[in-house]
Amino acid sequence: MPKIVFLPNEELCPEGMVVDAAEGETVLDVALRNHIDIEHACEKSCACTTCHVVIREGFDSLEESDELEDDMLDKAWGLEPESRLGCQAQVADEDLVVEIPKYTLNMVSEQH
């Protein structure tokens, strides 16, 4: 069973965390199941960037992002070549090291 190492994030998991993940499960679902409350304003529908994560190790094991995800990622704060939306990045057969960016752009809350 693959593992995900969530690097320390001051607000969401200050100590960092290593958790088990099932193949096919999204990075976001693994985080939420382990009480790492990554924001997901669009309810996992690939319509915002609030679940933006950076895959520090294991990026090449993930399926490539599709055009819709790429379009959303273009709007993400702190975009990097290894950026993915947590709701779209499905765990494969390799361990992952995931960094949760310090900031996100919450397009829903910014419009109010």
3-class SS of residue 4: strand
Residue 13 in any domain: the answer is: yes
First to last CA, the chain: 42
Q: Output the average pLDDT for the chain.
A: 93
Q: What is the pLDDT of residues 25-54, one digit of tens each?
A: 999 999 999 999 999 999 999 999 999 999
**Domains in the chain: how many in total?**
1
Residue 110 in any domain: the answer is: no
Residue 68 in any domain: the answer is: yes
Residue 109 in any domain: the answer is: no
CATH code for the domain of 22: 3.10.20.30
**Domain range holding 70?**
3-104
The structure tokens listed for 63 are 């399926």
Residue 111 in any domain: the answer is: no
- The reported pLDDT for the residue numbered 111 is 41
Residue 91 in any domain: the answer is: yes
- The reported pLDDT for the residue numbered 15 is 97
Residue 112 in any domain: the answer is: no
Band (102; pLDDT cuts 50, 70, 90): confident
